[in-house]
Chains A and B, each alone.
Chain A
Amino acid sequence: MSVIASRARRGSRFSGAVIGAVVGALTVAMVVFMWSLAATIVGGMVTTLPLGQALVLGLALGAAVGIFFDGRDAPGTVAVGSGLVLGLVYLLFTGFRPLGLETVQPVWGVGFAFLTFALSGHLVRYGLRDIDVRVARRDVIERVIVRLLRGFGFSFFTLIILFPFWYMLSASLKSRAAMLRDPANLAIEFGLGFSTLIRGYVEVLFTFDFLRFIGNSGLVAFVTMVVTLVMAVLGAYAVTRLAFPGRTFLSRSILLIYMFPAIVLVIPLYAVFTQLGLRNTLPGLLIVYPATTIPVALYMLRSYFQTLPKDLEEAGLIDGCTRAQVIWRITLPLSMPAIASVGLYVFMIAWNEFLFAFMFLDNPAIFTLPRGMVMLNSQEVPRQYLMAGAMIITVPIMLLFFWFEKYLVGGLTAGGVKG
């Protein structure tokens, strides 16, 4: 015990300072990057990316925290305190110009510099917690790297997911002139007034008739969902519960059918539907959509039915129920979660479907939303309107998705074969 302790004491300060400095430099660089980015695209401020400054300051901050790291933790006062001290030093040297901002803004500057450094000190301490940095053993280094990767990973994924959606929202509220003046500024200018902000939405909904397209898309997606569910429930039940010649073969070929690509089907369907007069019609789409979703729905429901106990249904049959009654009264109520998830999944596919809508529909009266988006994509229409259209097509499916997220995640995994 005493041997270990003394060795740890001997090696501790230096090793702790080095590991802390590396972690500190990367942490402050990350924090500054995220701050600069947020300040620009959310706050609309003019920023630089002072990565060099950030790395140097981070080295100092991390070393300070690392030196005080005692076994499993460093005192919080040290972490936040050294951050505050460093922030003060930095501010004094730069004449109160905060890290990353182009302009001198005393109130913002002071607050932010202190916040950045205090937060970074805390993050360094938090990132190293429970790791004995006093000894630079291989597993210690590895654990530090894993922590850094986790920190990087969370920032990275948050960024790549939120940025496109922030862009969509912000661009839908921004005039062409504002967008060209400063493309980096994605701040929402509330000062313009509500009616100016939502001009794109008003135009798209009323002038470009998206209100009607919402109805068309909703109708198509809903009918597709109902038709698919009815057929898939019947089919999946037959495949899992009834014995018939060809059952194994059928069960195996379901997924195979699903792999048949839409792009290969589109030319022949276009040719036939043109000759039958079905091409430029909603019924035409309503024939194609269920056909493309039934296999995966059947596959997902089959997987679920296989997990349901047979005994209940057999008891029902012995008690004199017909098959139809058994399905209606026993199987369906038991599989509501699966049916909900499959239904949502199918609804999502139909709502988002682009290829067939794009190929088949010429008549604006029956456009679905994705087809309407193609119509908006022209030189004459401002991008603001296109982004408003993107919001209109995205938000409903997102809301639906968040509302039923629990079900949908299960459905996506089960049907997760589809791209």
Chain B
Amino acid sequence: MAVRRTTLAAREARLAYWMLAPTFVVILAIVLFPVLLNVWLSFKPVTLGDLRAPVPVANERVMQTPDTAGDELVLRLTMRNGSQRVTLFGVVWEKTLPPGLTLTTVDPRCTQEGAIVTCTFGDWEGGYRETLELAFRAGPEYFEEGAPDVRDAPTDMRARAENVLTNFVFTLENYARVLTGSDFWPTLRTTLMYTFFSSVGSILLGLFAAQLLNSSFVGQGVLRGLFLFPYVAPVIAVAFVWAFFLDPFSGTVNALGQRWELLDGPVNFLGQRSVDVSLFGLSFALPLALATVIAFSSWNYFPFAFLFILARLQAVPVDMYEAADVDGAGPFQKFWYITLPSLAGVLAVLFLLRFMFLINKFEDIFLLTGGAAGTKNLPVMIYDEAFGRADIGVGSAVAMILFLVLLLFLFIYYRFAPEAER
């Protein structure tokens, strides 16, 4: 009996593993492996150009053409290692000569066998250059063929190279460059400000919207659908819309603001780093472009907070409000003493979730400003380093730093979020 139960359990477990296997393989290959590879890359000197396999390159130039049989044809080869960094092994240049040409240059590296000349160069370090002149004696057959251009004859140049991703060349320079660069600390600060204020902004908007729709009235369903629009619409579409209507010269907001005398002149919402604002006698410098990007992200993601908060609001027992009515509590007191405490859990979880997703947010800032005017965050910096400056290693190092910051917040989330909300 006991044996039979074990086999049943074993069979069930085996079935479960089979059902999970595809998911497991995909996650391993596309999520976990890249994260590990990112760690690896961040310690390696790799540029975008290195990703293509490095090849030796040869330029051929005819220095001397033969006039009659017995003359010499001189071919100059200017060769180099196509990569600045990667060593090429066993570099070979091979050419099938037109008939009638015989190699006369004595060079231990080059031999002729039939029509084929083979030069073996051995190993070339990154950036290595080599020039070689080869002389050939032209026989009568060469002229019978009409003295063809030797450069058109089939050439084969080949070498083996270490894969830049799998070799064991490491460096700490990527991290050193990131941490000592003038860019990093301001970018980190921008990232944290953008993330924090966008999270708070989207949650406040969501809370407001949820309060509005937390009562049944005609058209509530339509409005709820409408409120989700910003989230459902593709970010690339709405980002362009925002960029256009905020344009200082051909944007609707500036045109209306000036016509209604709310703005003194055109305001470059997405291009101006900072603007002096005086409010109630206090004047301070508002980082304008960053504030605009934060407004966009708050707008883009508030529907989410809205749905969450609305679901939670509808679960708050009505009798609590009724009891408060009996006690003579006003609407503000009810909001402060009943609604907010009921929402505290969901608000905290929402904040952490928003924070974790916004800290990685690339599209919003990239599409609105491209990281200009003091809006560059870490994801945009990753893109700039890895693809703009073509330095994969430095980009990976920034990505690693971002990932560590994220892990910190993930830890907080798993430590403090209630089980039910995960």
A interface residues (Cβ-Cβ under 8 A, vs B): 36-37, 40-41, 46-49, 138-139, 142-143, 145-146, 150, 153-154, 157-158, 160-165, 167-168, 171, 179-180, 182-184, 186, 231-232, 234-235, 237-239, 242-245, 247, 250, 252, 255-257, 259-272, 274-275, 287-288, 290-292, 294-295, 298, 323, 348, 351-352, 354-355, 359, 369-370, 373-374, 377, 383, 386-387, 389-391, 393-394, 397-398, 401-402, 405, 408-409, 412-413, 416-419
Contacts and interface: CB of A to CB of B under 8 A. Distances in A.
A351 B360 contact: no
A206 B209 CA distance: 41
18 contacts: A40-B259, A143-B330, A164-B242, A165-B241, A171-B241, A242-B19, A244-B12, A244-B17, A256-B414, A264-B360, A267-B382, A270-B386, A291-B30, A294-B27, A295-B27, A370-B234, A394-B238, A418-B357
B240 A183 contact: no
Contacts of B410: 256, 259
Contact of B357 (A46, A271, A419): A419
A257 B51 contact: no
Q: Lowest 9 A-B CB distances belong to which pairs?
A: A419-B357, A291-B30, A261-B360, A244-B13, A390-B237, A268-B34, A49-B260, A268-B37, A184-B255
Interface in B5-30: 9, 12-13, 15-17, 19-20, 22-23, 26-27, 29-30
Nearest to A151: B212
A263 B23 contact: no
A408 to B, nearest CB: 8
Contacts of A398: 229, 232-233
B245 A164 contact: yes
Interface string B363-388: 10001000000000001001100110
Contacts of A393: 234, 236-237
Contacts of A168: 237-238, 241
A131 to B, nearest CB: 11
A267 B15 contact: no
B308 A271 contact: no
Contacts of A145: 332
Contacts of B328: 139
Contact of B237 (A259, A262, A373): A373
Contact of A259 (B16, B23, B238, B356): B356
Given A49-B260, A184-B255, A250-B20, A275 B307 contact: no
B261 interface: yes
Given A263-B360, A291-B31, A394 B233 contact: yes
B62 to A, nearest CB: 36
Contacts of A40: 256, 259
B252 interface: yes
A390 B241 CA distance: 8
Contacts of A164: 230, 238, 241-242, 245
B234 A183 contact: no
Interface stretch (B143-151, B267-275, B394-402): B394-402
A37 B255 CA distance: 12
Interface stretch (B104-112, B134-142, B219-227, B276-284): B219-227
A167 B244 CA distance: 9
B38 interface: yes
A160 B206 CA distance: 13
A292 B27 CA distance: 8
Contact of B353 (A269, A272, A352, A417): A417
Contacts of A417: 353
A352 B235 contact: yes
B343 interface: no
Nearest to A251: B422
Contacts of A167: 241, 244-245, 252
A47 B209 contact: no
Contacts of A259: 356-357, 406, 410
| Residue from B22, B33, B163, B230 whose CB has the most chain A CB atoms within 10 Å | B22
A36 B259 CA distance: 11
Contact of B304 (A47, A250, A412): A412
B203 to A, nearest CB: 12
A261 B403 contact: yes
B31 A238 contact: no
B254 interface: yes
A377 B35 contact: no
B234 A351 contact: yes
B19 A238 contact: yes
| Residue from B27, B228, B242 whose CB has the most chain A CB atoms within 10 Å | B27
A418 B356 CA distance: 10
A137 to B, nearest CB: 9
B331 interface: yes
Contacts of B383: 263
A273 to B, nearest CB: 10
A416 B307 contact: yes
B86 interface: no
A44 to B, nearest CB: 12
Contacts of B230: 161, 164
Given A164-B241, A171-B244, A271 B19 contact: no
B164 to A, nearest CB: 9
Nearest to A157: B209
Contacts of B232: 348, 397-398, 401, 408
B416 interface: no
Contacts of B209: 153, 157
Given A139-B328, A157-B212, A271-B37, A287 B261 contact: no
